[in-house]
Amino acid sequence: NELGMDVVFAGDGIPRFKDEIDKLLKVNYIYSNCQSNRQRAASVGFVGMKLYEQGKFVNSDEHAPNYLRLSQAERELKEKEQNK
């Protein structure tokens, strides 16, 4: 990927989409383990700790989430602005 880092999948969608991800994804990726595969702050910390142990880390200024979609509030605002 453009950041040169593994993509980390976490969440309750892993079982549903794992086969498709395995078949289609062409970049390096990992799945969070069962203790950290839910969307919780502690899960992010756990994955971060594992990556840090592997020597993979960024400083706090460089760290930013990569959301797959806009938040509900952002989607509703965008829709409202388009309907003016």
How many structural domains comprise the chain? 1
Q: Assess if residue 2 is contained within a domain.
A: no
Q: Assess if residue 1 is contained within a domain.
A: no
Predicted TM-score (pTM) of the model is: 0.44
8-67 pLDDT, tens digit each:
888 878 888 999 999 999 889 998 876 666 667 777 788 788 888 999 888 888 877 778
| pLDDT score recorded for residue 79 | 94
Q: Assess if residue 51 is contained within a domain.
A: yes
> What single string gives the DSSP state of each residue in the chain?
-TTSS-EEE-STTHHHHHHHHHHH--S-EEE--TTS-SS-HHHHHHHHHHHHHTT----TTT-----SS--HHHHHHHHHHHT-
Residue 22's domain spans which residues? 7-82
